[in-house]
Amino acid sequence: MNIFLVLFKKEIKELLTRQLLISIAAMLFIFAVIGKSVGSHSRSSGVRNSVVLLDLDRSPLSKRIAGAMRKAKAEILPSGAANIAAALADPQFAGENSFILLPAGLEKDVAGQKASRVEYYSRFRRDASGLGPALAAGRVRKLSTAVSGAVSAWALERRLPGLSADLLKDPAPAREFAVIDGRMEQVPVAQVVAFMQSQSYFFPMAVFFIVMLSAQMIMTSVASEKENKTLETLLSSPVDRRLLVLSKLAASTSIAAALSLAYMLGMRSFMSGINSIAGAGPAAAASEALARLGLVMTPSGYLLTGLSVLFCILCAISMAFILGILAEDVKSVQTLLTPLMMPLMLAYLLPIFIDLSTANFGIKFLLYAIPFTHAFMAPQNILMGNIQQVLYGIAYQAAVFAAFVLLAARLFSGDALLTLRIKGFKFGGGGR
Amino acid sequence: MNAVELRGLTKKYKDFEAISGLDLSVGAGEIFALVGPNGVGKSTTLKMIATILTPTAGTISVFGLDTVRDAHRVRELISYLPEEAGAYKNLTGREYLRFMAMVFLKDHARAEAATAFGEELCGLKDRLKDKIKTYSKGMARKLLLARAVMIRPKLAILDEPTSGLDIVNGYEIRKTIKQLAAEGTTFIISSHNMAEIEFLSGRIAVINKGKLLACDTPAALRVKFSTEDLEEVFIALAR
Ligand SMILES: Nc1ncnc2c1ncn2[C@@H]1O[C@H](COP(=O)(O)OP(=O)(O)OP(=O)(O)O)[C@@H](O)[C@H]1O
Ligand SMILES: [Mg+2]
């Protein structure tokens, strides 16, 4: 046989361990879970296309605008309120996120060659996550295009004398407002969305890497002490075994804490930068509007986020410690990370697709049972004022951490350390 | 009082019985050797004496202390060298000795004295300031052996101490062991080197498949099996 094939076959046999297949199966499982819950979630909450329309003009033009919006596949819910505040407060529309206001005198303004101002209000839930905010921004864009088209067409049909090209180009400039928790600010929705996404995508991603790094660090450390038998030597020494566990945890935690501190500092400058990118409008004005909406981190907010991340790392480290005890050697660390990867991936990916504030109980329970979720969601919750939820999250993480440390200490004081192991059987090989 | 007493010692890994009802006693100051073919349970027995595995049945006492109930006090008397052990690769030889001395003795002055003794024993001289990852297999083994005996334990448990050492180094280690035994340390060693065992040990226990087959001085064993060569005794028993 070709020598290359001989070598190739050997490499495949070396790589294709049972653990690897289990990891692959685990990944498939996670994506299936995410796909399923995203599907059921969007069916139940209905990726909304409804818009509350507050028509204060009540003119042929405003009827025409409503028609254009319907053509743009929006489900129009007419509101009889006298002003936007009343419409927003209307319990009938408590579940609605998009409101459009056609101001009184709209038709007269256009007839008089004045650009009319249509107002778009996007309401965000305190604990909104998932694709909701981004969809809201997209909806505003789509609807404002439809509205402009309708107004231009109306003006052209009237053959208004001296119709200016400027007016035709943008006959109904959008005035966008964001509504969060009763506060209302004029700010491009795209800007708010950019900010929220920085919370729900970029922040968890960084935490994800820190957690993986520290977990791998301690697992490799335990597994290599096992492989080198330096652990056996330490275990036969008159040092309290709990001290052995504690010193390892403490050392990894200090390094991980330094990592997260560096990260928090990095995030600060990242966050101050994020307000100036994305979206329209002058950056300074927009970031002031975001601040007035409460979308700004205070020092205590950073502290709380840091604390949540620290406990997230502690949980990961204590779990990784146990997995390290089970590891046969350093080589198996990689695949033994799978049980840690799975909840981590779920906690990271699900909130990107699903709005937790409206998710069903099962999904919520699954996510909040994962201690990492609490850290991922911390900045969002802090910004939205859900301090209590962050504190509960930290308490839960602390409890999980304590449970795993106790388990680790137990495993450390018995035979398990030397006899328990998850072996990387080769396919076809097997046996001792 | 005997240094080590095994009574009906049994160890099961899941369903597999690695040691079945072993009875042995080792006197204080003795150099006692465990021999037997690969995989018969020598290392398992040594690990149980070293308190890092617990017996499934039977008892072990070390200077009168039970290795399960009084594990912590036993650990203050012993020093264990695992087979094929490694060290912390990023420490230098000297740092490693100092660290282990502190772990075992918990006292700066005593640890310093032990470290100095260890540095002398391992014979690595200038290389002690290099990281362990730059050491050859034999150099690392000498360092680990020095570590195991530098604290002058009452009982040293050495699993294949001289495997991987050259003739000169092996010889020097054996001399050191003999000298320390004369100064009062008890040794339990396992080995596959019959010449070494002949030179070192007062008594030999031959085990096979977890059971004790013979336990006597090398001379007595040779007489019993009417041969000049200890290896032939071993081969006869291993069958
Ligand atoms: N952690 C373990 N789990 C299951 N079986 C084990 C374990 N450790 C050892 N064994 C089995 O117990 C038996 C005795 O092993 P042990 O290491 O004590 O042999 P040994 O006499 O030291 O051999 P060698 O001369 O090769 O070092 C072997 O059959 C081995 O496969
Ligand atoms: Mg062995």
pLDDT-derived band at A281 (thresholds 50, 70, 90) equals very low
| C-alpha–C-alpha distance, residues A78 and A73, integer Å | 15
- On the question of pLDDT at B108 being above 80, the answer is yes
Local confidence band at A427 (pLDDT 50, 70, 90 cut-offs): very low
pLDDT confidence bin for A289, thresholds 50/70/90: confident
Helical residues (DSSP H) of B41-89, grouped into ranges = 42-49, 71-75
pLDDT above 90 covers what percent of chain A?
A: 13
pLDDT at B75: 95
Query: Helices then strands (H, E): number in chain B?
Result: 9, 10
Calculate what percentage of chain B has a pLDDT beyond 70: 100
Nearest C-alpha to atom 12 of ligand 1 is from which residue? B18
Q: Ligand 1: which residues within 6 Å by Cβ?
A: A 418-419, 432; B 13, 16, 18, 36, 38-44, 83
Mean pLDDT of B132-141: 92
Q: How far is A24 from chain B (nearest CA, A)?
A: 29
Between the CA of B35 and the centroid of ligand 2 the distance, in Å, is 10
- Indicate the helix (H) or strand (E) that contains B3: none
Q: Is the CB of residue B46 less than 8 Å from the CB of residue B34?
A: yes
Proportion of chain A above pLDDT 70, given as a percent: 87
Closest-CA residue of chain B to A229: B85
Please report the pLDDT score of residue A272 as a whole number: 62
- Residue nearest atom 19 of ligand 1, based on CA coordinates: B39
How do beta strands A174-180 and A183-186 pair? antiparallel
Does A229 contact B78 at a Cβ distance shorter than 8 Å?
A: no
Tell me which of B149 and A42 has the higher pLDDT: B149
Give the residue-averaged pLDDT of A87-113: 85
What does DSSP assign to residue A114?
A: P
CA angle A193, A387, A121 (to 5 degrees): 30
Helix (H) or strand (E) holding A193: helix A189-197
Cβ neighbors of A259 (< 8 A, separation 6 or more) are A210, A213, A214
What pLDDT shows up at residue B150?
A: 95
Average pLDDT value for residue range A190-215: 79
Distance CA(A236)–CA(B50), nearest Å, equals 6
Is pLDDT above 90 for B6?
Answer: yes
Higher pLDDT, A282 or B109: B109
Strands (E), B98-160: 155-159
Other C-beta atoms within 10 Å of A11: how many?
Answer: 10
CA distance B170 to B199: 12
What is the distance in A from the centroid of ligand 1 to the CA of A385?
59
CB-based contact (8 Å) between A75 and chain B?
no
Give residue B142 CA to ligand 2 midpoint distance, Å: 18
Tell me the per-residue pLDDT of B29-74, one tens digit each, with 9 for 90 and over.
999 999 999 999 999 999 999 999 999 999 999 999 999 999 999 9
Give the pLDDT score at A274: 56
**Spatial distance between the Cα atoms of A199 and B10, rounded to a whole number of angstroms:** 59
| Spatial distance between the Cα atoms of A11 and A23, rounded to a whole number of angstroms | 19
A227: contact with B, CB 8 A cutoff: yes
CA A151: distance to chain centroid?
38
pLDDT tier at B140, thresholds 50, 70, 90: very high
CATH 3.40.50.300 fits B4-77+153-238, yes or no: yes
Query: Looking at residue B226, what is its pLDDT?
Result: 82
At A42 the pLDDT is 62
Q: Is the pLDDT of residue A130 over 90?
A: no
Question: Inter-chain contact B85–A236, Cβ cutoff 8 Å?
Answer: no
Helix (H) or strand (E) holding B128: none
The full set of domain ranges for chain B reads: 4-77+153-238, 86-150
* In the block, residue with structure tokens 């005794």: B233
Q: For the domain bounded by A48-186, which CATH number is listed? A: 3.40.1710.10
Instruction: Name, of A78-92, A204-218, A267-281, B50-64, the range with top average pLDDT.
Output: B50-64
Of B52, B83, B87, the CB nearest to A236: B52
- What was the pLDDT predicted at B56? 93
Q: What is the mean pLDDT of chain A?
A: 81
Report the pLDDT averaged over residues A157-170.
75
A258-266 average pLDDT score = 76
- Per-residue pLDDT tens digits for B181-237: 999 999 999 999 888 888 898 899 999 888 998 899 988 888 888 887 788 888 888
Q: Give the per-residue pLDDT at A431.
A: 35
Q: Measuring CA to CA, how many Å separate B105 from each of A237, B77, B79, B120, B140?
A: 9, 10, 11, 18, 22
Mean pLDDT of B76-105: 93
Averaged pLDDT of chain B: 92
- Residue B166 pLDDT > 50: yes
Average pLDDT estimate for A391-401: 96
Query: Residues of A with CB below 8 A from B47's CB?
Result: 232, 418
pLDDT for res B111 = 94
Q: What are phi and psi of A35, to 5 degrees?
A: -60, -45
Where exactly are the structural domains of chain A? 18-43+199-430, 48-186
- The whole-number pLDDT of residue A170 equals 76
pLDDT at residue B158 greater than cutoff 50: yes
Q: Span A229-233, mean pLDDT?
A: 91
Mean pLDDT of A271-299: 64
Q: Which of A130-134, A158-162, A300-304, A425-429 has the highest mean pLDDT?
A: A300-304
Parallel, antiparallel or unpaired: strands A118-124 and B4-13: unpaired
What is the four-CA torsion angle of A38, A39, A41, A44, rounded to 10 degrees? 170
pLDDT at residue A282 above 60?
Answer: no
Alpha-carbon distance B86 to nearest alpha carbon in chain A (angstroms): 5
Q: Which of A30-44, A278-292, A339-353, B104-118 has the lowest mean pLDDT?
A: A278-292
Query: B86 and A227: CB-CB below 8 Å?
Result: yes
The partner residue sitting opposite A228, judged by closest CB among B53, B85, B103, is: B85
DSSP classification of residue A331: G
Question: Where is pLDDT greater, at B162 or A164?
Answer: B162
